[in-house]
Structure 1
Amino acid sequence: MPRTIDYGNLMHHAMRGLIRQVLDSVARHGLPGEHHFFITFDTNHAGVALADWLHDRYPGEMTIVLQHWFDNLQVDDDGFAVTLNFGDQPEPMYIPFDAIRTFVDPSVEFGLRFETHEADEDDEEDEDEQPDDDPPPPAGEVVRLDRFRKS
Structure 2
Amino acid sequence: MTDTIDYGNLMHRAMRSLIKEVLGDIAKTGLPGQHHFFITFDTMHPDVEIADWLSDRYPGEMTIVIQHWFDNLVVDDNGFAITLNFGDNPEPLYIPYDSIVTFVDPSVEFGLRFDSHEEGEEDAEVVPLENTEDAPEAPMEEAETPDAPAKDAEVVSLDSFRK
User: What band does the TM-score fall into relative to the shorter chain?
Assistant: 0.7 to 0.9
Give the whole-Å Cα distance in 1 for the aligned partners of 2:72 and 2:114. Answer: 26
Give the whole-Å Cα distance in 2 for the aligned partners of 1:61 and 1:90. Answer: 20
Of all paired residues, the percent bearing the same amino acid is 68
Give the whole-Å Cα distance in 2 for the aligned partners of 1:34 and 1:21. Answer: 18
Shift of 1:82: 0.2
Give the whole-Å Cα distance in 1 for the aligned partners of 2:120 and 2:14. Answer: 23
Task: Specify every segment of 5 or more residues in structure 2 that has no aligned partner in the other structure, as ranges.
Answer: 138-163
Shift of 1:3: 2.0
More moved, 19-28 vs 138-147: 138-147
Higher helix share: 1
Q: 2:21 — aligned with what?
A: 21
Give the whole-Å Cα distance in 1 for the aligned partners of 2:28 and 2:109. Answer: 23
Shift of 1:48: 0.2
Q: What's the secondary structure of 1:40's corresponding residue?
A: strand
8 Å CA contact 1:114–1:139 kept in 2: the answer is yes
Q: 1:149 — aligned with what?
A: 135
8 Å CA contact 1:102–1:143 kept in 2: the answer is no
* Matches for 1:58-137 after TM superposition, within 5 Å: 58-116=58-116, 119-121=117-119
Task: Specify every segment of 5 or more residues in structure 1 that has no aligned partner in the other structure, as ranges.
Answer: 124-137
Give the whole-Å Cα distance in 2 for the aligned partners of 1:17 and 1:141. Answer: 14
Q: 1:131 — aligned with what?
A: none
8 Å CA contact 1:103–1:113 kept in 2: the answer is yes
Shift of 1:40: 0.2
Number of paired residues?
135
**Structure 2 residue 41 is matched with structure 1 residue 2:** no
Shift of 1:103: 0.2
Shift of 1:139: 1.9
Q: What's the secondary structure of 1:35's corresponding residue?
A: coil
Q: Specify the code of the residue in structure 2 equivalent to 1:68.
A: H
Give a deviation string over 1:51-82, Cα, whole Å, max 9, x none: 00000000000000000010000000000000
Q: 2:11 — aligned with what?
A: 11
Which of the pair has the greater relative contact order for Cα pairs under 8 Å at 6+ separation? 1
8 Å CA contact 1:74–1:80 kept in 2: the answer is yes
CA distance 1:120–1:69, change in 2 (3 Å): same
Give the whole-Å Cα distance in 1 for the aligned partners of 2:23 and 2:43. Answer: 19
Give the whole-Å Cα distance in 2 for the aligned partners of 1:141 and 1:122. Answer: 16
Q: 2:124 — aligned with what?
A: 140
Give the whole-Å Cα distance in 2 for the aligned partners of 1:70 and 1:15. Answer: 23
Give the whole-Å Cα distance in 2 for the aligned partners of 1:39 and 1:71. Answer: 16
